[in-house]
Chains A and B, each alone.
Chain A
Amino acid sequence: MTMPQGQTSVLLGGYGLRKSYGPVEVLHGIDFEIRAGEVHALLGENGAGKSTLVKILSGLVAPSAGRITLDGDQTSFASVADAEDAGVVLIHQEFNLAELRSVEENIFLGREWRKGLLLDKAAMRAEARRLLDQLKCPAAATAQVAGLPVADKQMVEIAKAMSRKARVLFLDEPTAVLTKAETASLFLLVKQLKAEGVGIVFISHKLDEVAEIADRITVLRDGTHVTSTPAAGVTPEEMARLMVGRELSDFYPEKPDPSADILLDVENLSAPGVQRASFDLRRGEVLGFAGLQGAGRTALMEAIIGLHPVEEGSVRLNGAAQAFDSVAQSKAARVAYLTKDRKGKGLLLGNDLVWNFSLFALDKFATPFLNRKAERAAFDAGTQAVDLRAASPKLNAGSLSGGNQQKLLLAKILEADPQVIIIDEPTRGIDVGAKAQIYGFIADLAAEGRGVIVLSSELPEIIGLSHRVFVMHDGAVTGCLSDADINEETIMHYASGLGPARAA
């Protein structure tokens, strides 16, 4: 099946790759080739098996069957270190950083440069600095990783891979947490690596990016290979159709009018990273929050629900003043927040699905002893409502695909029956099909008379979902947009702190 002239330039190939977890087979015999100097995009819905495939090809997970070739010779990687020695490097969808160590230490972790017996710290620092500069990453080489924003952590991962001198580089959803500008500098780098003959595999659910950067695309569906084709001329719409296997229509749901009742009213709220922010949310409304990375949207919401101290200002819920000191208090007032950091703050990856599902609303099932029957029944109903598909409720949350993790998190929060739901990056790392579903849930929640706040760095999503959009810049709310003002241009204008676009 390989083309004769392709044979020579295939760097890494996998043939007939299968993978089973227990009795469940998740990859059913996949062929996949990476050639020198190409960007090969790997597409598929959540759970299609993209991450599993690249984990196999990079030595992290052993295949159940199939063979792998490197430069045409059969090979098998015993470990990640083995694969890295052969120049095959994977950047994980989940971060893989030593949080308490510095950026430079992470970049060289396990591959430290030496001068004699001692570490060559100066040279490593200089190289780390150079790599970060190349990525336009503002983080200091000496900064502790734990304190970095997510985007910078991603950049550190990328710098780490670059320092490994990769010949084959797997990027598993590297842009999910990056802004447009950060993505652009990553792409510059990808092009440069490509020119040097590196074979790059790029996984993303952002199909416009795929169209921009990919030379070839391979689509997986439910663990099987659908097609591999040159990317030229394949539109994002066609990609979506190939992934989902059907036509997608009506991406954004209807927006029924909200009621006039003010549900949540925040006035002049100051907190760490937030300055005198004001906004209001009505019953039945979807409120969008736009802004650049670090604009203070997450900080504002986390202060409201009691995770950070409020320095001044007021929060009123249904007209009554509130000062939440803890998430337990805001939950009791039926205000709930879904974090964007699903893996670090949202789910217990090593615990099963039921455990995760009921954690937020656990008191419902404790009378005072846990009623497992009721818990299980609620799990079945709650996960069915968000269309979560999992082989068994005994699975660990960490083994769910990104889309299903998000649905689990949503179900977990909804179990507490909140009247105000704040969703941070609702579709990060989520495939087109599941995205449309999540948009549907958001609209339904509002239609039921709840208030929904959506924080997102994807403007089309904000624009498609929101009745009104608040824009933040540098910790302050810089604008409130409605109706015709809700467009990318106006939002970006406010987001960059330039003030009203049409000020007289």
Chain B
Amino acid sequence: MSETTIQETKRGPLSGLDWKLFGPIAALVLLLIIGSLLNENFLSAANLLNILTRSAFIGIIAIGATFVISSGGIDLSVGSMAAFTAGVMIMLMNWMMGVTDMIWLIVVLGVVAGALIGTAAGWLNGILITRGGIEAFIVTLGTMGIYRSLVTYLADGGTLSLDRDVRALYRPVYYGDVFGLPIPVLLLALAAIAGWIVLNNTAFGRHVQSVGANEDVARYSAINTDRIKVYAFMIQGACVALATIVYVPRLGSASATTGVLWELEAIAAVIIGGTLLKGGYGRIGGTIAGALILTLIGNILNLTDLISNYLNGAVQGVIIIAAVFLQRGLGQKS
């Protein structure tokens, strides 16, 4: 019954959709105001760029998650996939040090390998889900454990560290900037724009959301639903790869704790952003806002001692629930 009731009421012209769009932005603005009231340095360019840079990993991964979730899937493996990709990239680059002394080539090959590994891992998730007919939750729960344990094994329980010379050359990919814009922020922006265009302005993007809305209707509408799902997971894998490529030069290392809980942060960013967890409706802009909101909370807690930093997770949890509550609650009135 409740399903019908929700559908009945969600239809007013000013309901649902608009709040999904403006809700996250309103929350973002609110947090910015709170932050600026708490500390006058909050709105400084340096702090804002810092917030953006810190949002880049989760933001980029969450762009992929927007595709997967709006196609009706879920990917729990992204955090371990990032750790595994980082581990293999580091080992590969270290090994190449013994083969060639063209360090730029080593970095390029390392980056290419990272891109391939991430995309292939996404493809594997997608294939297991569609060919195997297993729920995305279960497949990615499995691969999450597999990648996590593989990286622990590769690092022998410790830490894999990138060769110093390679890292020196690779470093600017995280720490560098283009006209004052940090490279991670630039990449986040490019990925967001590309994601937005693909999701909203191509047949593929429509198909992704249609598959999430009702797979049967999609199949009867000449959509190859399996292929769409695999592509969505491959986009997720490619996004994880991009995030990892930016992440590796940051610390120059990977270990069993790399990327822990990233999957939940990415999913949280997507949901705060107004994408429906049950699929059928995705918003890239909202996802970016969601990722920024999550970073902002941490940043604001750092700036004030009203609330202990240890409660960061609790505040994030409250925000997630409140965001969804507001989107649904406001969507229903009209």
Q: Using CB atoms and an 8 Å cutoff, list the residues of chain A in contact with chain B.
A: 21-23, 55, 60-61, 79-81, 92, 94, 96, 307, 326-328, 330-331, 337, 339, 344-351, 355, 359-360, 362-363, 365-366, 368-370, 392, 394-396, 398-399, 412, 416
B187 within 8 A of partner (CB): no
CB pair B1–A360 under 8 Å, yes or no, is no
When distances are taken between beta carbons in the complex, the residues of chain B under 8 Å from A61 are 8
A345-B217, A350-B280 given as contacts; is B222 within 8 A of A22 (CB)? no
Known: A344-B216, A359-B206, A370-B202. Is A60-B11 also a contact (CB below 8 A)? Answer: no
Report B217-253 CB contacts with A as 1/0, cut-off 8 Å. Answer: 1111111100000000000000000000000000000
* Interface status of B201 (Cβ within 8 A of chain A): yes
Distance to closest chain B CB from A340 (angstroms): 11
CB of B4 within 8 A of CB of A396, answer no
B203 with A327: CB separation less than 8 A:
no
A80 in contact with B206 given A60-B8, A348-B213, A360-B222 (CB within 8 Å): no
Q: Given the complex, which residues of B lie within 8 Å of A392, measured CB to CB? A: 13
Could you list 12 examples of A-B contacts with CB < 8 Å? A21-B12, A60-B4, A81-B1, A96-B3, A327-B221, A331-B222, A345-B214, A348-B280, A350-B7, A350-B280, A350-B281, A355-B206
C-alpha spacing A500/B207, complex, angstroms = 48
Q: Which residue of A has the minimal Cβ distance to B1?
A: A80
Q: Which of A21, A348, A370, A399 contacts B217 (CB 8 A)?
A: A348
Taking a contact as CB atoms under 8 Å apart, the answer to whether A328 and B222 are in contact is yes
Contact A328 B223 (CB under 8 A): yes
Indicate if the CB atoms of A395 and B214 lie closer than 8 Å: no
Q: Are B220 and A327 in contact (CB under 8 A)?
A: yes
Interface of B is mostly: helix
A350 in contact with B213 given A80-B1, A369-B197 (CB within 8 Å): yes
The answer on a CB contact under 8 Å between A348 and B210 is yes
Given contacts A307-B219, A350-B7, 16 further A-B contacts (CB under 8 A): A22-B11, A22-B12, A22-B14, A326-B222, A327-B221, A347-B217, A348-B217, A350-B280, A359-B218, A362-B206, A368-B202, A370-B203, A370-B206, A396-B7, A398-B11, A416-B222
Of residues 1 to 41 in B, which have CB atoms within 8 Å of A's CB atoms?
A: 1, 3-5, 7-8, 10-14
B214 and A348 form a contact (CB under 8 A) = yes
- Complex CA gap A412/B220 in Å reads 12
Return chain A residues, CB-CB under 8 Å to B214.
Answer: 344-345, 348-349
Partner of A351, one of B210, B219, B220: B210
A337 pairs with B1, CB closer than 8 A: no
Which residue on chain A has the smallest CB distance to residue B6?
A350
Q: How many A-B pairs fall under 8 Å by CB? A: 103
B residues 187-208 with Cβ under 8 Å of A? 197, 200-203, 206-207
B223 to chain A, nearest CB (A): 7
Cα-based distance from A331 to B280 in the complex (angstroms): 23
Residues in B neighbouring A337, C-beta threshold 8 A:
220
Q: Is the CB of B216 within 8 A of A345?
A: yes
In the complex formed, the residue of A with least CB distance to B214 is A348
Chain B residue with the shortest CB-CB distance to A413: B221
Whether B224 lies near A92 (C-beta < 8 A) is no
Q: Give the residues in chain B near A399, CB-CB below 8 Å.
A: 11
Whole-angstrom CA separation of A331 from B75 in the bound complex: 32
Q: How far is the CA of A330 from the CA of B210 in the complex (A)?
A: 20
Residue of A at shortest CB range from B8?
A: A61
Taking the nearest CB of chain B, how far is it from the CB of A208, in angstroms?
30
B residues in contact with A396, CB < 8 Å = 7, 10-11
Whether the pair B4, A328 counts as a contact (CB closer than 8 A) is no
The CA-CA distance from A138 to B4 in the complex, in Å, is: 28
Q: Is there an interface contact between A346 and B197, defined as CB atoms closer than 8 Å? A: no
CA distance A124 to B197 in the complex (A): 54
- Bound-state Cα–Cα, A168 to B334, Å: 30
CA of A4 to CA of B12 in the docked complex: distance in angstroms?
A: 41
Question: Shortest CB–CB separation between residue B280 and chain A, in angstroms?
Answer: 6
Could you say which of A22, A80, A366, A416 contacts B202, with CB atoms under 8 Å apart?
Answer: A366
Beta-carbon contact of B13 and A22 below 8 Å:
yes
Contact A345 B220 (CB under 8 A): yes
- In the bound complex, how far is the Cα of B4 from the Cα of A354, in angstroms? 22
Residues on A with beta carbons closer than 8 Å to the beta carbon of B8: 55, 60-61
Q: Once the chains bind, are A394 and B217 in contact (CB under 8 Å)?
A: no
Known interface pairs A360-B222, A368-B202. Does A94 touch B217 (Cβ–Cβ under 8 Å)? no
Bound-state Cα–Cα, A307 to B225, Å:
12
Residue of B nearest to A80 (CB): B1
Q: Contacts of B219 on A, CB cut-off 8 Å? A: 307, 327, 345
Q: Which residues of A contact B223 (CB under 8 A)?
A: 327-328, 359
A398 to B206, CA, bound (A): 18
Q: Which one of A21, A96, A331 contacts B11 once the chains associate, using CB atoms below 8 Å?
A: A21
CB distance A92 to B213 under 8 Å? no
Distance between Cα atoms of A365 and B200 in the complex (Å): 13
Most buried by A among B11, B12, B334: B11
Residue numbers in A under 8 Å from B334 (CB-CB): 22
The contact string, 1 if C-beta is below 8 Å from chain A, for chain B 258-289, is: 00000000000000000000001100000000
Contacts of B3 in A (CB 8 A): 96
**Docked-complex contact B220 and A366, CB < 8 angstroms:** no
Contact between B220 and A92, CB atoms less than 8 A apart: no
- B228–chain A nearest beta-carbon distance, Å: 11
C-alpha gap A432/B4 in the complex (Å): 27
Contact A96 B1 (CB under 8 A): yes
With a cutoff of 8 Å between Cβ atoms, the chain A residues found around residue B1 in the complex are 60, 79-81, 96
Q: Is the CB–CB distance between B221 and A363 below 8 Å?
A: no
Q: Are B4 and A96 in contact (CB under 8 A)?
A: yes
A94 to B197, CA, bound (A): 36
Q: How far is the CA of A486 from the CA of B155 in the complex (A)?
A: 78
Cβ distance B264 to chain A, nearest Cβ, rounded Å: 27
User: CB-CB < 8 A to A344: which residues of B?
Assistant: 214, 216-217
> CA–CA, A485 to B155, complex, Å?
80
Residues of B within 8 A of A327 (CB): 219-223
Q: Is the CB of A307 within 8 A of B206?
A: no
Contact assessment for A394 and B13 in the assembled complex, using a CB-CB cutoff below 8 Å: yes
Nearest CB of B to A202, in Å: 21
Chain B positions within 8 Å of A92 at CB level: 4
Chain A, residue nearest B3 (CB): A96
B213 in contact with A351 (CB, 8 Å): yes
Given the complex of chains A and B, what is the CA–CA distance between A360 and B220 in angstroms? 8
- Give the residues in chain B near A331, CB-CB below 8 Å: 222
User: Do B11 and A395 touch (CB < 8 A)?
Assistant: yes
Which residues of chain A are near B201, meaning CB under 8 Å? 369-370
* Contacts known (A363-B203, A369-B197, A370-B206); A346 close to B217, Cβ less than 8 A: yes
Interface pair B11/A366, CB less than 8 Å apart: no
Residues of B within 8 A of A60 (CB): 1, 4-5, 8
Measured CA separation A498–B102 after assembly (Å): 84
Q: Which residue of B lies closest to A348 (CB)?
A: B213
Measured in the bound complex, the distance between the Cα atoms of B217 and A22 in whole Å is: 28
B203 touches A362 (CB 8 A): yes
* Nearest chain A CB to B71 CB, angstrom units: 13
| B202 adjacent to A346 (CB under 8 Å) | no
Q: Are A326 and B202 in contact (CB under 8 A)?
A: no
Instruction: Give bound CA distance, A394 to B18, whole Å.
Output: 13
Name the distance in Å between A88's Cβ and chain B's nearest Cβ: 14
Contact of B210 among A96, A326, A359 (CB under 8 A): A359
Q: Could you tell me if A307 and B220 are in contact, using CB atoms closer than 8 angstroms?
A: yes
Point out the residue from A328, A348, A362, A368 that lies within 8 Å of B224, measured CB to CB.
Answer: A328
Measured CB to CB, the closest approach of chain B to A209, in angstroms, equals: 25
Instruction: Among B1, B4, B222, B280, find the residue whose CB has the most chain A CB atoms closer than 10 A.
Output: B222
